[in-house]
Amino acid sequence: MSDKFDVIFIGAGPAGYVGAIRAAQLGLKTACVDAFTGKDGKQALGGTCLNVGCIPSKALLDSSRQYWNIAHNLPVHGISVEGAKVDMATFIGRKDKIVKQFTGGIGQLFKANKVTPYFGTGKLLKGNEVEITAPDGGKQTISATNVILASGSVPIELPFAKFDGKMIVDNAGALDFAEVPKRLGVIGAGVIGLELGSVWKRMGAEVTILEALPDFLSVADADVAKVAKKEFEKQGLAIKLGAKLTKAEVKKNEVHLTYEDKDGAHELVVDKLLVAVGRRAYTAGLLADDTGVKLDERGRIVVDEHCHTGVDGVWAIGDAVRGPMLAHKGSEEGVAVAEWIAGKAGHVNFDTIPWVIYTEPEIAWAGKTEKQLKDEGVPYRVGTFPFAAIGRAVAMNEAVGQVKMLAHAETDRILGVHMVGPGVSELIAECVVAMEFKGSSEDLARIVHAHPTLSEAVHEAALSVDKRAIHKGN
């Protein structure tokens, strides 16, 4: 007899585990199947994000920032530290401990909410049955009225630079180097390449980032990208644009790279290579042949605006479907699907999903870029404010970057906010709230912001839309 549930989630990343908890809260009998194995060989819930993504990268970004500050920030404050050393076992061990704390925490949350976890690979069969293959090969079948596919994504591999886990690595490998590589090559100047490149640069590696596109961070607003590039280069990150990797050969303890740019072919020798050229939806072994669930040309599970696959009772969420590959986007889809199944009004507003890059300076944005508004012919006004004129940022010695606000020229509705600077990963939340409430720049301009705080940059940028910023010329 197979176990029968109201809902089965396949995948316990931020899309699946959050959705499962919400489903259980709503009184649905819920199971969650996940195959991820932790460093200790046991089941590790939380998917890419908790195990080899968001959380461990932020742990290493923070540790490396502390180390970098000793030589690059503390002297400005009149503090000098002699003989600072890094213990790599502690550096990596701290990250592993944080990962374990959070992956274990999901187990506790499942228990508290009565979500039944299964350890193994889930395959959707026709009729909303799920066959689970345990790590030891044992099989069992469970079934549900609704099955939610939340199988996430995996790194894209370049055929001429295949991952070997040692010299040519993906994100998981670059979060686990036993030593600081002397020379690190990074392919792809996207979010992951920039964050992990920053970690190892701060720890003392010579980091060269090769990016095939001619523009830096073209997904972000051009003004933000310009400031960020300048600051990263000041920190010593070598960023080569229009540089396409064409070959990577491991020779003894080195990786020999060939890349092509407008001047022809070049060679570069590094000690480790991180390939961070994007991620693709992961659906290997997920679907029996006759389920009727479709994949698009990029291998993503096809869904409608309600995350429904078109097959009765089968839904899909997170990195495995269209939309930005961000943890919070998947989580909100998980919650929305649980609510739709329970007969409630679920909702995900794709227009206000915040993006954050946790480099130094941080980068954050929500809504449209200036280029998008131009291309769409939307009339807009721009307000900007530099952190150089924010007392708190200067006091912190982090007075770099700016807040840029785009508002509709006629209605003043906020259409986009783009930030680069200190603490902007947190500042963006205020703007997302304003945008979600269909707020105007005037709304933010009229709200009292504490002094002295970094949030005054948001206030002043809002004032600047109407050319009435106080602490700069308009």
Active site members:
451
The yes or no reply on residue 387 touching ligand FAD (CB under 6 A) is no
Q: In whole angstroms, how close is the CB of 221 to ligand FAD at the nearest point?
A: 19
In whole angstroms, how large is the CA radius of gyration of the chain?
24
Q: In whole angstroms, how close is the CB of 5 to ligand AMP at the nearest point?
A: 35
Residue of the chain from 32, 59, 239, 327 that contacts ligand FAD (CB under 6 A): 327
Q: Contacts with ligand FAD: how many residues (CB under 6 A)?
A: 36
Cβ neighbour number for residue 235 with a 10 Å cutoff: 14
Residues 117 to 146 in contact with ligand AMP, rule: CB under 6 A = none
Residue of the chain from 8, 210, 405, 419 that contacts ligand AMP (CB under 6 A): 210
Residues 277 to 296 in contact with ligand AMP, rule: CB under 6 A = 277-278
DSSP assignment letter at 156: P
Q: In whole angstroms, how close is the CB of 235 to ligand AMP at the nearest point?
A: 20
Burial of 455: CB neighbours in 10 Å, binned 0-12, 13-18, 19+: buried
Residue 429: helix, strand or coil by DSSP? Answer: helix
> What are the strands of the beta sheet with 244-251, ordered from one edge?
244-251, 254-261, 264-270
- One-letter amino acid of 168: I
Residue of the chain from 8, 16, 314, 441 that contacts ligand FAD (CB under 6 A): 16
The yes or no reply on residue 49 touching ligand FAD (CB under 6 A) is yes
Q: In whole angstroms, how close is the CB of 235 to ligand FAD at the nearest point?
A: 19
How far apart CA 374 and CA 46 sit, in angstroms, is 40
* Part of the chain binding ligand FAD (CB under 6 A), chosen from 151-159, 243-251, 306-314, 400-408: 151-159
Q: What is the DSSP string of 261-329?
A: ETTEEEEEEESEEEE-S-EEE--TTTB-TTS---B-TTSPBP--TTSB-SSTTEEE-GGGSSS---HHH
The yes or no reply on residue 181 touching ligand FAD (CB under 6 A) is no
The yes or no reply on residue 47 touching ligand FAD (CB under 6 A) is yes
- One-letter amino acid of 35: A
The yes or no reply on residue 187 touching ligand AMP (CB under 6 A) is yes
The yes or no reply on residue 257 touching ligand FAD (CB under 6 A) is no
First CA to last CA distance, the chain: 73
How far apart CA 287 and CA 149 sit, in angstroms, is 10
Residue 15 interacts with which of ligand AMP, ligand FAD, none, CB < 5 to 8 Å by class: ligand FAD
The yes or no reply on residue 303 touching ligand FAD (CB under 6 A) is no
Residue 307 interacts with which of ligand AMP, ligand FAD, none, CB < 5 to 8 Å by class: none
Q: In whole angstroms, how close is the CB of 324 to ligand AMP at the nearest point?
A: 10
Q: What is the DSSP string of 213-231?
A: SSSTTTTS-HHHHHHHHHH
Of residues 43, 75, 60, 258, the one with CA closest to residue 158: 258
Residue 282 interacts with which of ligand FAD, ligand AMP, none, CB < 5 to 8 Å by class: ligand FAD
CA distances from 112 to 17, 21, 108, 109, 295 (A): 13, 9, 6, 5, 35
| Residues composing the chain | 474
Q: In whole angstroms, how close is the CB of 279 to ligand AMP at the nearest point?
A: 7
Interface map 227-266 toward ligand AMP (x if CB under 6 A)? -----------------xx---------------------
The yes or no reply on residue 192 touching ligand FAD (CB under 6 A) is yes
User: How distant is the alpha carbon of residue 181 from its chain centre?
Assistant: 24
Angle of helix 456-465 relative to helix 424-436, nearest 10 degrees, comes to 50
Residue of the chain from 32, 110, 146, 152 that contacts ligand FAD (CB under 6 A): 152
The yes or no reply on residue 190 touching ligand AMP (CB under 6 A) is yes
Residue 107 interacts with which of ligand AMP, ligand FAD, none, CB < 5 to 8 Å by class: none
| Residue ranges that bind ligand AMP, judged by CB under 6 A | 158, 187-192, 210-213, 244-245, 276-278
